[in-house]
Amino acid sequence: MALDAAPMADGFGRRFHYLRLSVTEVCNFSCTYCLPNGWKKTGPLSFLTVEEIGRLVAGFSGLGLSKVRLTGGEPTVRKDFNAIIQTVAAAPGVAKVAMTTNGWNLARHAVDWRASGLSHINVSIDSIDPETFHRITGHDKLNQVLTGLDLALAEGFSAVKVNAVLLRETAEAGFDGWARFVRDRPVAVRFIELMKTTDNDEYFARHHVKAQGLRDWLDQNGWTPAPRAFDAGPALEYRHPDHAGAIGLIAPYSPGFCDSCNRLRVTARGKLRLCLFGDGGVDLRDLLQDDDDRDLLVQRIVSSLGGKSAGHALALGRSGDLRNLAQLGG
């Protein structure tokens, strides 16, 4: 079919080969910037089933999809997470199956997830000080998470990375500890600038710091920007000759952040979301009930891309209708 051959692209020359798929809104952590009071059930838990996920990914894969990131909420709280990985990994053209996790059960499952087809893991670790980690996530589990991280590194995944939200308190504590952390570990630690959502206004005002402080520290300490792949997303990575790992930053409030956008998002309830900081979404779920609806699904995805804007409006104080990132997966 002609549409199947067309790559996913928008009116600004950006191509979208990468889908971030939320598989649940549920989370077992209560990170201060995301779900400070923990996840609360507010309605029926009607998240996409494995079958619906299979149809969704098949639709995208006909349009040039090569990478899927499973996220949430905490994706690994789903009992059928292995089946989800297997289904996504089996889609034609999908070469990378990634996930973002808080790492609570990584030590227990890294081996079977890898066997199921998971290739890339991002583990969220905001601090390597156990007490600070406990305070931020609500769980005294730093050691457990680090055990999982090191096991995953030993397990031969294509890439294991760490996400750390850049908060005033962790930035003020400095980055020397993190440099030691990556001296012998071949892991990229990427600091994400805190993002404003409709739930965290006040928190954002108190805890947001610009990525420039980290950039200055990297410059002053001999870290240099690594060459960027042609299809790289918005993260910038820095390397140092004495360190096995890398330090990176994701700075959505910096100018030009959206120019290299290469991703689309689908919520755990099947809505296509064109921008993290946008509003609403295009419902795809009605077309995920029957294999025969695949062409209609492809058409809806392609026609929706026309609605993707050139960039977010964070500089104007508009961050969209997202209550917290657990709703969509970051």
Footprint on this chain of ligand SF4 (rule: CB under 6 A):
27, 29-31, 34-35, 72-74, 102, 124, 325-326
Distance of closest approach, residue 2 Cβ to ligand SAM, in angstroms: 36
- According to DSSP H, which parts of the chain are helical? 2-5, 50-61, 81-89, 106-116, 130-137, 142-154, 168-173, 176-181, 201-207, 212-220, 294-305
DSSP per position, 101-149: E--TTHHHHHHHHHHHT--EEEEE-S-SSHHHHHHHHSS--HHHHHHHH
User: Of 8, 1, 101, which is closest to residue 301 (Cα–Cα)?
Assistant: 8
Q: How far apart are CA 250 and CA 214, in angstroms?
A: 11
If contact means CB under 5 to 8 A according to the sort of partner, which of ligand SAM, ligand SF4, none does residue 127 touch? none
Buried b (16+ CB within 10 A) or exposed e, 290-307: eeebbeebbebbbebbee
If contact means CB under 5 to 8 A according to the sort of partner, which of ligand SF4, ligand SAM, none does residue 197 touch? ligand SAM
Distance of closest approach, residue 293 Cβ to ligand SAM, in angstroms: 29
Of 147 and 299, which CB lies nearer to ligand SAM in the complex structure? 147
If contact means CB under 5 to 8 A according to the sort of partner, which of ligand SAM, ligand SF4, none does residue 163 touch? ligand SAM
Distance of closest approach, residue 103 Cβ to ligand SAM, in angstroms: 8
User: Of 319, 237, 275, 321, which is closest to residue 20 (Cα–Cα)?
Assistant: 275
Of 200 and 287, which CB lies nearer to ligand SAM in the complex structure? 200
If contact means CB under 5 to 8 A according to the sort of partner, which of ligand SAM, ligand SF4, none does residue 35 touch? ligand SF4
Q: By CB under 6 A, name the binding residues for ligand SAM.
A: 27, 33-34, 71-72, 74, 100-102, 124, 163, 165, 192, 194-195, 197, 200, 325-326, 329-330
Of 34 and 65, which CB lies nearer to ligand SF4 in the complex structure? 34
